[in-house]
Each structure stands twice: as C-alpha cells, then as structure tokens.
Amino acid sequence: MGILEIIETINDAVGSFVWGLPMLVLLIGTGIMMTVRTGFFQVSHFRHWWQHTIGAVFTDKHVTAHTDEDDRSISQFQSLCTALAATVGTGNIAGVSAAIAAGGPGAIFWMWIVAFFGMMTNYSENVLGIYYRRKNEHGEWCGGAMYYLRDGLGSIKGFKKLGSILAVLFAIFCTVASFGIGNMSQINTIAANMNSVFHIPNAVMGLLLMILSAVVIIGGLKRIASVTEKLVPFMAIAYMLGALVIIIVNIGTMPAVLKSIIKGAFAMRAVGGGIVGYGVMQALTWGMKRGVFSNEAGLGSSVMVHSASNVKEPVKQGMWGIFEVFADTIIICSLTAFVILSTGMVDLETGMMISTSASTALVTEAFSTVFGRFGAMFIAVAVLLFAYSTTLGWSEYGTRAFEYLFGTKRVIIFRVIFVVFIMLGATMELSLAWALSDTFNGLMAIPNLIGVAACSPVVVKLTKNYINRRVLGKEEAPMYSAWEDIQKMQEEE
C-alpha cells in the first residue's frame, strides 16, 4: 500500500467520525443557540445589518476607505472581500454539484438551513474576533478562534488550560486545512478545468498560479486585500448574471425545481428501482458538509481576516459575517443549484442524476445547454477566479494560525511553503484533496464551536449594548475590546 492509499484510509476513518451525528448537533446547535440568544438578529434586524454592510458601500465612504500606509489594518469592505475570496470558491460550483449528486436536490434545502443558522455562527465568530483581537509586533491586528479560546474560554474559572490547549489545536488544524480547502483542492480544480477546456497542461497551470500567488501572498494581507476587493465583486457579479440568464430561459421549470428540493429534503429517494432509508440523512449530511465547505460558518476561518478590519465595534464587523454567509450560500450556491436542476441534469421526480458528469463538469454541462461552447469557457474562467481568490484568502488564514504557533517572524516560512504546495495541488488526485478538506474542516470546527458556545454570553452582551445604542437610541457606554479600552484611556490622558 502506497503512502497516498494510507493517507486516504486514515482520512476516511477520521472523516467518518468527524462528520457524524455529534458534528451535526454541534454545528447546527451552535447556530440555533446564537440565533435564539440574539433574538433572531439575522431576521429581526435584517434592514439594519443590510444597510450597514453592503448598503453602506454606496453611502458611507468610511466602509471602503483604505487605511494609511503605516496602518496595518484594512477597511471593512476589504475584510469582506478577502473573506468572500476565501469562501466563494469551488464549493459554490463543484461543492453544490457534489451535494446534489450524493444527497439529491434535498441537500440544497439543508444547505439553506445550515446557512440560515450559520449566519449567526459567523456573526458570533466575528464579534468575538474583534473583541479578543490583539496587535502583533508589526502593528497588525491578530484575531480568531485561537484568541477567544485562550482569552475567552480560558478566562472561565477552571478552563484556562483547556482554552490554551484548544487554541493550539485549532491553530494546528487551520494550518493543515489551509493546504487542503484553501490550496490543493482549489488549485487542482483550476488545473483540471483549464486542461479540459483550454488544453493547458496541469503542470504549466500550476507553475503559472504559483508565480502569480507568490507575488501577492508574500506581500502580506494589505496586498491580498487590494487584489480581492477588485477581483471578488467582478467575479461574483459576472457569475450571478450568467446563472440568472439560464434560470430565466428555464423559468418554467422553477416550480418543479423548488418542489424537488423540498420533497428531497424530507422524503426518501428512489435509487435503482429500490428505496434507501438513509435518503434524508444523505441529503442532510451532504447539504451540511458542502454548505460548510462553501460558507465556512462554524470553522472560525474568516474571522481571522475580519479581525484585521479598522472597525472598533465588534457587532459592526459581526454584521459583515451575516452578509458573507447570505451572499455565499443563499445567493451564489442557490443560483448554481437552480442552474443544475432547471437544465435537465437531474430527474426532478426521483432526484436521480440524469447527467453522467460530476463536480464542475456538471455545472459546465448545465451552462452549455444555453451558452454552448462559451458556457464551458465561462465556467472554466469562473472556477479559475473563484478558486484562485480562495487560495489568496486561505493563505492569510494559514498565516495567522501559523503565526499563533510559531511567532510573527516565522510567517514567511509558511507563505513560501504554501506557494510551493500550489504546484503539488495542480498535479495531485482531486478526490483525495476534497476528502482531506472535509476532514480538516470538521476538525477546525470542533474547538471553534466550543469557543463560540462558551463565549456566547459575551456575544449577547455586546449585541444588546449595540442595539441599545445604535438601534434604540439609548445612552449607554460603547463596548470595545479590552485592548481598545486601554488605548482609549491612554488617548484621553
């Protein structure tokens, strides 16, 4: 048995354990808990968070204004674009395809459910990220699950050691995961698609991507943010417009598409003329796995970029987390699903696959039904932009986790290794890259969700303080992080 076979066997065993029923309960349960404890903030204050996130891009210059050259933080919009760069990736195309192929149309319903509650999980992560963040020796903001595990969970009597241990475990899992979900699986998908459509050899594509990535990644967060704030809006809007054209052309099938999604979420699927009792569980499991792979709510990943924002209000950055999940899953993933289901790739009555294509090729085939040869080219370019931006975003996540473990001065080592792994990702087997990504997603989520649950009183307190001041207009002292409070006192003196 070769080394790859050994890795795959171990990964299958660990992955089955990680993505079992306990993870379902922990992941969805945390989202439900934070939704209830914040008064269904994503619904009850929908207008407010919408106006103060994407709506503010057009009305508030402070949201998009770049920081001074000597300021190592980034703008709110840059933090969103960098986070979306990491979340809007192959999961929105290949991931949705895999969810439908393995779990049927019903998987999309469960993807929506996970996203709905995941909005508040992501919100809570970002609130805690801003609250517990610290500045490193270069003056850069550093935040993430490592810090609210160590300083939040660790501040609870009797949990100091556990908080420190879980912080280190999260940092280790994140560092390793960055090479899977954020590097090899993305690059491999790019290489496979560019080879299939444009006949570019995988090695050539890998080398080109490695050079382009090195220029951006080694330059640090501000350079990454300057690229993603231009790339993300362009690629997202272009993809959504293309998908909308297909949906409009096939608008007559939409009632049947929606019926198939709802039916598949709660009813058993027919497979090969027989009935399998795990149909609902398959839909739920694949909807959850691919939903998390896509929007990353619960992983504690995007908070590391959101924490670098120049914002002071923890809740203000938390609201960007809500929009991030909404845009990624409720909008982009749904459009991909509607494209696949409305173009005859799946039997809407049984939920069975009609097309023999898999992964990204399934979306390519769906786009080709309307756009012909241009559809295949469009998806290849879309995958290139989506996956490349994900690689840029995840390089920063891995950098922050590595920095927590080994210190600021050694982050250049991680960045160089990360860039080198891009070539490996272009030539390795895709299925193993995806399997490794799923496993380490789950391993990251466990300590992070424990930290969010343990620190939930802090999130509730910060949320109530913000609502009282900003929504209800009550006079109340603002709550910033402990670091911000110290700085404010020093400025007043």
- The mean pLDDT value for 442-456 works out to 92
Q: Using CA atoms, how far apart are residues 384 and 389, in angstroms rounded to an integer? A: 8
| Model confidence band, residue 387 (pLDDT cutoffs 50, 70, 90) | confident
**Regarding predicted confidence, which is higher, 226 or 148?**
148
Q: Quick check: 214 and 420 in contact, CB under 8 A?
A: no
CA atoms in the 13 A half-sphere facing the CB of 203? 0
Q: Using CA atoms, how far apart are residues 308 and 133, in angstroms rounded to an integer? A: 9
- What does the pLDDT read at residue 488? 55
- What does the pLDDT read at residue 492? 47
Range of lowest pLDDT (64-73, 153-162, 312-321) = 64-73
Mean pLDDT of the chain: 83
Q: Which tens digits make up the pLDDT trace of 113-161?
A: 888 999 999 999 999 999 999 888 877 888 899 999 999 999 999 999 9
Q: Which tens digits make up the pLDDT trace of 98-116?
A: 888 878 888 888 889 888 9
At a CB cut-off of 8 Å and minimum separation 6, what does 141 contact?
72, 73, 133, 134, 135, 307, 308, 309
- The mean pLDDT value for 265-283 works out to 52
DSSP string, 396-419: HHHHHHHHHHH-GGGHHHHHHHHH
**Regarding predicted confidence, which is higher, 93 or 341?**
341
- The mean pLDDT value for 433-452 works out to 81
At a CB cut-off of 8 Å and minimum separation 6, what does 247 contact?
254, 335, 338, 339, 342
Structure tokens at 74: 């980034």
Q: Is pLDDT of 276 > 60?
A: no
- What does the pLDDT read at residue 331? 92
Range of lowest pLDDT (153-157, 183-187, 414-418, 488-492) = 488-492
- What does the pLDDT read at residue 5? 63
| Model confidence band, residue 9 (pLDDT cutoffs 50, 70, 90) | low
Q: Using CA atoms, how far apart are residues 136 and 146, in angstroms rounded to an integer? A: 14
Range of lowest pLDDT (8-12, 42-46, 367-371) = 8-12
Q: Is pLDDT of 489 > 60?
A: no
- The mean pLDDT value for 52-80 works out to 74
Domains of the chain, with CATH numbers?
A: 14-492 (1.20.1740)
- The mean pLDDT value for 196-213 works out to 89
Q: Using CA atoms, how far apart are residues 231 and 383, in angstroms rounded to an integer? A: 13
- What does the pLDDT read at residue 168? 96
Q: Quick check: 148 and 166 in contact, CB under 8 A?
A: no
Strongest mean pLDDT among 87-96, 270-279, 318-327:
318-327
